[in-house]
Amino acid sequence: MPMDLELFWGAVLALSILIYVLLDGFDLGVGILFGLNREESQRRDMMGSIAPVWDGNETWLIVVGTVLFGAFPVVYSIFLSAFYLPVALLLVALILRGVAFEFRYKTQRARWLWDFGFIAGSAVAAFVQGAAIGAMVAGITVEGRDFAGGPFDWIAPFPLLCGIGLVLGYTLLGAAWLVLKTEGPLRDWAYGWLPRLMTGVIAFVALALLGTLVGDFRVVDRWLAQPWLLLLPLVASLAAWQLYRVAADRRSEWQPYVLTSLLFLTAYLMLAASFWPWLVPYHLTLTEAAAPESSLEFLFWGAGVVVLPVILLYTGVVYWVFRGKVDPGQQYH
């Protein structure tokens, strides 16, 4: 039973991270693209495409934090100690973009300020998430069950590269979302960004792979030991090729988001398979990091049986109710 609960909460953590990336990823991407479009009517439609769902998407980030705190508290402690500054920047960025989302419609003179807050908040939130992932891949300094490094260890070439890469990836996801949810000139504008952003993502992947090999990270040993993992990059390559084709003929509105989500899914599975069963790479496994059995059981009956199904149901209902295209020119706030 204890092992079953550890696996259950490990699966919940993995699924919650994936859902957060796919959902909040596109609305952060739309926020970044917001800075590349100066047409006010199109900017309104861009915000309208995420208005019903952006705050609900961030619920999954809270789920991730709650699962770490309740089921894997030592990982929560190490992660916050290692990434205190990135987490603080993430929270400030998310608050800033949320406030900007509401306030930009309340003023004309200072609208530029709230627009900047929306754009900067989206970009910073994406960047620090990618930098934290890159730092975990490179490895953090842990002694026993405590973080033993410094507050700026995450500021290194590989993590910073990963931060830029996730900004590009989220922006690609945002462009795909706009193709799905909008019509007319804005949809065509988003179509135009798809191949450019896809090229940027491919360049990042190539640089990240080179950095991984040059850095002699231990994850390379896992790749060599499990060659079946090479199937995931193959699937990603096919998805990227199809995305270029769809962006060229502009006949499908749903394929770009599905294909971009598939790219994220393959990258996520590659990352998860590379580190399993480590939760803190090369230091703590799932079993070693799990809370006592009594805590896992308490969390299961409270959060696992009651809260998680409600969140899943809420998310599904919201996306079903607000399905379809954005109403052009409608003011959302």
Question: C-alpha 9: how far from its chain's center?
Answer: 20
Whole-number Å distance between alpha carbons of 46 and 42: 6
Question: What does the pLDDT read at residue 333?
Answer: 54
Question: What pLDDT score does 86 carry?
Answer: 92
Per-residue confidence (pLDDT) for residue 65, from 0 to 100? 92
pLDDT in the model for residue 304: 83
Beta-strand pair 146-147/278-280: unpaired
Cα angle at 200 between 195 and 204, to 5 degrees?
Answer: 145
Q: CA nearest 94: which of 174, 11, 154, 31?
A: 31
147 forms beta bridges with 142
- Answer left, alpha or beta for residue 250, where phi above 0 means left and psi between -120 and 50 means alpha: left
pTM for the predicted model, two decimal places: 0.93
140 class by beta-carbon count within 10 Å (0-12 exposed, 13-18 middle, 19+ buried): buried
Give the residue from 49, 44, 25 showing the smallest Cα distance to 253. 49
Q: How many angstroms separate the CA atoms of 181 and 257, rounded? A: 10
Per-run averaged pLDDT (10 residues), the chain, 333 residues? 77 94 94 93 92 90 92 92 92 92 83 91 95 87 84 88 94 96 93 94 88 68 74 90 91 91 92 84 86 89 86 93 81 56
The token duo for 151 is 């507050």
Under DSSP, is residue 284 helix (H, G, I), strand (E, B) or coil? Answer: strand
Are the C-beta atoms of residues 122 and 28 closer than 8 Å to each other?
yes
pLDDT at position 2:
47
